[in-house]
Amino acid sequence: MTELLTLDLNAGAMLAVSLGGSAVRTVVDGLDQFPDGVVVDQLRGHIYWTNMGAPDPGAASGTDPEFFTRNGSIERVDLDGGNRTTIVPPGTFTTGKQIAADFEKGRLYWCDREGMAVLTCDLNGGDLHPIVVTGQGEADARESRNWCVGICLDLDRRLVYWTQKGAAKAGDGRIFRAPMDLPPGADPAARSDLELLWQNLPEPVDLALHGIGHLVWTDRGAAPDGNALYTATVQPEVGVPQVLSHGFREAIGLAALGTCFYVSELGGTIRLVDVGAGTDTVLVRLGNPLTGLALADL
């Protein structure tokens, strides 16, 4: 049975939600390091998720926590929630965000936000290295324009797509793509094969590739253009972004199934946008802030 996996920040739990929204259960609890991205390996029976890590101390009341301390990590469990294992230990990178995978080749790919990089490793955490570096040093890390957040893969064309969201509500977001495979000896901080697809976006966050030619993403930016679900063609040509749905409360996670797009929000709900049926509904209200979203047959 296919379910939605989502990460509940306040409960510190990975939840499984039925596609009809009527049933919610806990798969893993004790997630106390700000889990953010989740991806499922059906063949091997594993779930992987990124952790942003413990936030920096001293944030003012009412402001978003900061995550400049290098304490991000990646964990794995079996589909039933057992055998929890840390495969990339805290301190290996800075801030884990959305995660994707090439399971055929046995590799994970994810964005390190304050670490300003797109990273990859094998399924056990080995051979970890960047394929894209967007900034270096503390000054660059404080420039949110360099922050990599959302990621997805086109395995047929061996392309990686990622977002650089910019400052909150600033309209400075961008989406890029590049070949997944870094040429031997190439510098990930000086790649000449990066392609900027769009700029001046409200605040793009998570990504999904729909079919062979459409990119879909969530956006947390200010209304009327932000807090929306977007799509645009990327093959055979790069098209103009179009809004599929709007009015979200801090849209984050994204999962696609047929004509259905599921969106999780920091506002505590999962929405279902079915472009085939022309419907846009709240699937479930969970109350707590939600981050990553993935489909799984558990």
pLDDT given at position 243: 97
Q: Report the C-alpha gap between 235 and 66 in whole angstroms.
A: 36
CA-angle at 226, arms to 223 and 228, nearest 5°: 115
Cα distances (angstroms) measured from residue 140 to each of 113, 117, 133: 12, 12, 11
**Following DSSP, what letter does each residue of 206-218 receive, concatenated?**
EEEEETTTEEEEE
| Residue 219 clears pLDDT 80, i.e. is over it | yes
The length of the chain in residues reads 298
Is residue 62 pLDDT above 70, yes or no?
A: no
By DSSP bridging, strand 148-154 and strand 159-164 are antiparallel
DSSP one-letter code for 252: E
Domain at 25-255: CATH code: 2.120.10.30
pLDDT per position as a tens digit, 140-150: 999 999 999 99
- Asked if residue 60 has pLDDT above 60, the reply is no
Query: For residue 91, which of 57, 59, 63, 128 has the smallest C-alpha distance?
Result: 128
- Confidence band (pLDDT; 50, 70, 90) for 45? very high
- CA geometry: angle at 203 spanning 251 and 231, to 5°? 70
**CA neighbours closer than 13 Å in the CB half-sphere of residue 161:** 26
Over residues 117-141, mean pLDDT: 97
pLDDT value for 88: 98
